[in-house]
Amino acid sequence: MKPILRPFVFILVAAMFAACENGNADGDGGDGGGAATSNGCYYALNSGLDASNSSLTRYDKNSGNVTQDYFFLQNNRGLGNLPNDMLVYGSKMYIAVSGEMTVEVTDLDAKSVKQIACGATHQPRCLAAAGGKVYVTYYDGYVARIDTATLEVESEVEVGRNPEQLAVVGNALYVANSGGLDWNTDKGYDKTVSVIDLGTFTETKKIEVAANPTVVHADGAGVYVISQGNYGDVPPALQYIDSEGTVTIPELCPKLSDMCYVSGAVYGLLQEYDALWNTINSYIYYNKVKNVAETSWIKDEVLPAKPYKLSAVGDAVAVTSGDYTSDGDVCLYDTDGMLLAKFAAGLYPVKVVKVD
């Protein structure tokens, strides 16, 4: 997790905490300009521990070349303290830099275009985009709308406590309110998903879900939501919210720790622990339309060493691996679970994006 929750993460096992990785915003943006020079590459966002070791890794899928500290090489400065999420939208990339209270905007070759100030109390967490706008959650309980033409914050709307991931379905924006900062208070975790009308940019309702929702992904008709529970006796839960706001738990796939949505199916990671606190990783596939679930979607003999986050990158799945103590790596798998590539990343990689 990010800095404001790091003490909690170390107490309750960092690998179970969901960072942001909503990749369903990647698409044809509403902004123009900024000719791409990095076609056919992947970027891994490395959160690090502080401003000294956050970074961006560039992987060229054609040549196989890996370049570490790519943002620094392009801009002669670092990303800043604790970047938390990243997306590609149109001709630009957007990076939520939580510790700096900014959204970093770059071209597709990671050259900085603008640093958007979020405000003294607004730590940007997670990103989504649609209709020429980028939406960002602020951890103090707001969602902001950024215009991709002017690169200015147009409006803000209050949601629930400590919002995390968000996703767009039609004219609605779904926001997971975790309440993560209240884990040891009388309030406890939040249990809601806010629904924002994109036309009026107002919250229209809150939908009750299981405790500590953090992950949200759209499938075109509704959203999948993962609630993390309490990292103890309350396990994580996968839920589905349809367009009417009805919440169901998939019978074939009731629990996940993280997921991405690729080619009409859920590719998930479930992390559980045995009596000695050894991690048990399960890679679960779920297709709601076909009513099919598999307990091990990775078929390749190469498995991530310390899996943490999953990202949808085109028609492939990226699995980041690492921790707070050593540099990590990224495994790219096709939808049949076979390894496409593996490349080294920086400290604590949390998100992978693709530039075509």
Structure tokens, 19: 């960072």
Specify the higher pLDDT residue, 37 or 323.
Answer: 323
Total Cβ atoms within 10 A of residue 268: 26
Residue whose C-alpha is closest to residue 86's, from 356, 354, 355, 351: 351
Mean pLDDT of the chain: 91
Residue 185 has pLDDT above 80, yes or no: yes
Domain encompassing residue 140? 3-355
Task: State the burial class of residue 130 (Cβ atoms within 10 Å of its Cβ: 0-12, 13-18, 19+).
Answer: buried
Total Cβ atoms within 10 A of residue 294: 15
Q: Where are the alpha helices (DSSP H) in the chain?
A: 6-12, 70-75
Residue whose C-alpha is closest to residue 313's, from 135, 59, 5, 49: 59
Average pLDDT over residues 5-12: 36
Residue whose C-alpha is closest to residue 338's, from 307, 322, 356, 315: 315
Total Cβ atoms within 10 A of residue 77: 10
Rounded CA-CA distance 261/253 in Å is: 14
Confidence of residue 24 (pLDDT cuts 50, 70, 90): very low
86's enclosing H/E stretch is: strand 83-89
For 238-268, give the DSSP string: EEEE-TT--EE--TT----SEEEEETTEEEE
Residue 235 has pLDDT above 90, yes or no: yes
Tallying the residues shown for the chain, one arrives at: 356
Place of tokens 């004219």: 171
Residue 33 has pLDDT above 80, yes or no: no
Compute the Cα dihedral for 217, 314, 48, 16 and give only its sign: positive
Average pLDDT over residues 300-318: 97
Q: State the pTM of this model.
A: 0.90
Q: How many angstroms separate the first and last alpha carbons of the chain? A: 29
Rounded CA-CA distance 20/79 in Å is: 17
Total Cβ atoms within 10 A of residue 135: 24
Work out how many domains the chain is built from and give that number: 1
User: 211 and 189 in contact (C-beta within 8 Å)?
Assistant: yes
User: 98 and 139 in contact (C-beta within 8 Å)?
Assistant: yes
Confidence of residue 128 (pLDDT cuts 50, 70, 90): very high
User: 113 and 102 in contact (C-beta within 8 Å)?
Assistant: no
Rounded CA-CA distance 60/127 in Å is: 24
What is the layout of strands, in order, in the sheet containing 41-46? 66-67, 55-60, 41-46, 349-355
Confidence of residue 29 (pLDDT cuts 50, 70, 90): very low
pLDDT of residue 277: 87
Confidence of residue 3 (pLDDT cuts 50, 70, 90): very low
Q: Name the least confident of 16-30, 104-118, 201-215, 266-280.
A: 16-30
Rounded CA-CA distance 157/135 in Å is: 11
pLDDT of residue 31: 44
Structure tokens, 64: 């196989």
Three-state SS at 174:
strand
Residue 25 has pLDDT above 50, yes or no: no
pLDDT of residue 12: 37
Secondary structure E strands in 274-326: 279-287, 292-294, 307-313, 316-321
pLDDT of residue 274: 87
Residue 56 has pLDDT above 90, yes or no: yes
- Residue 338 sits in a domain whose CATH number is 2.130.10.10
Q: What angle do CA 328, 331, 335 make, to 5 degrees?
A: 155
pLDDT of residue 51: 85
Confidence of residue 20 (pLDDT cuts 50, 70, 90): low
pLDDT of residue 23: 43
pLDDT of residue 323: 85
Residue 38 has pLDDT above 90, yes or no: no
Give buried/exposed letters for 315-354 (b at 16+ CB in 10 A, else e): ebbbbbbbeeeebbbbbbbeeebeeeebbebbbbbbbbbb
pLDDT of residue 316: 97
Specify the higher pLDDT residue, 3 or 333.
Answer: 333
Residue 250 has pLDDT above 60, yes or no: yes
